[in-house]
Amino acid sequence: MNRRRHMDRLATWMSVVAGAVLVVVLLSILWTLLSRGLVGISWATLTHGMGPPGSGGGLGNAILGSIIQTSVALLIAVPLGLSCGIYLAEYGRKTNYFADVVRFVSDVLMSAPSILIGLFVYQLVVVPWGHFSGWAGSVALAVLAVPVIVRTTEDMLRLVPTAMREAGAALGAPRWRVILSLCLRSARQGVLTGILLALARVGGETAPLLFTSLGNQTWSSNLNKPMASLPIAIYQYAGASYDDWVQLAWTGALLITFGVLLINIAVRLSARR
């Protein structure tokens, strides 16, 4: 018993230390972003478009482009990911070779490097159209988001007790109604978490956008043309030799981080209601 108590205490302290290390790393990242990026927050930064060094340019067009492309990507990815996750969890539990193939492909896409996704969408969308566009960037981000939503949706639906499905069927509800009104509703917290994870992943992706939407130094809300985005602006400004551009890169990183954080908080609060 003494040996078991010592092992239990050792495991407990190791868990506490691991959690503390993660918290310290996260706090250090947030502190670095705040200390370096908060200085550049101003009305001009949020409303002015990108410009040459020393011109007083901002990140307004990049912010607009990121919001548009990310929103379109989620509009594409969420229905596809939810539908695929529901199919795998509810209809692909038993021996089903097609479901196994879909699950395997989803796992491969989840681990695929984002730059390969960008090259794929470049060949699929950009080359046939003959030009870069916001649509191509949105499609690339959607491809990255779909497998995350698929996996979390399937896992959360598998946690719903079978007795709940049987109760819905006993009341005479058709299977699709049981899935949507009982199972999906019970798993909504986990499903929303998966959507937020997908949003967090695509919100800061740079490589796919370099091959698809390319970037734009001017204001543009036309998805048929090249479109600016915060990740590309950070990529362009971070390695520059101009102090104002480097400051804008830190400010853009801060905006992305706290934008995702605020969306997480808002969605979780609304889900509780």
Question: How does residue 271 score in pLDDT terms, banded at 50, 70 and 90?
Answer: low
**Residue 13, pLDDT above cutoff 90:** yes
Question: What's the pTM?
Answer: 0.89
pLDDT at position 11 over 90: yes
With contact defined as beta carbons under 8 Å apart, do 223 and 130 qualify?
Answer: no
Give residue 44's identity as a one-letter amino acid code: A
Instruction: Calculate what percentage of the chain has a pLDDT beyond 70.
Output: 98
- HSE of 5, CA atoms in CB hemisphere, 13 A: 2
Higher-confidence residue of 250 and 3: namely 250
- CA-based end-to-end distance of the chain: 47
Residue 95 has pLDDT above 70, yes or no: no
- Sign of the four-CA dihedral 254, 141, 180, 97: negative
pLDDT at 246 over 90: yes
- The pLDDT of residue 148 is 93
CA distance 198 to 78: 9
Q: What is the mean pLDDT of the chain?
A: 91
Residue, of 263 and 87, whose pLDDT is higher: 87
Output the CA torsion sign for 241, 242, 245, 250: positive
98-157 pLDDT, tens per residue?
888 999 999 899 888 999 999 999 999 999 999 999 999 999 999 999 999 999 999 999
Q: 3-state SS of the chain?
A: CHHHHHHHHHHHHHHHHHHHHHHHHHHHHHHHHHHHHHHHCCHHHHHCCCCCCCCCCCCHHHHHHHHHHHHHHHHHHHHHHHHHHHHHHHCCCCCCHHHHHHHHHHHHHHHCCHHHHHHHHHHHHHHHHCCCCHHHHHHHHHHHHHHHHHHHHHHHHHCCCHHHHHHHHHCCCCHHHHHHHHHHHHCHHHHHHHHHHHHHHHHCCCHHHHHHCCCCCCCCCCCCCCCCCHHHHHHHHHCCCCHHHHHHHHHHHHHHHHHHHHHHHHHHHHHHC
Q: State yes or no: pLDDT of 217 exceeds 90.
A: no
Q: What pLDDT shows up at residue 133? A: 94
Which residue, chain included where needed, has tokens 């543009």? 220
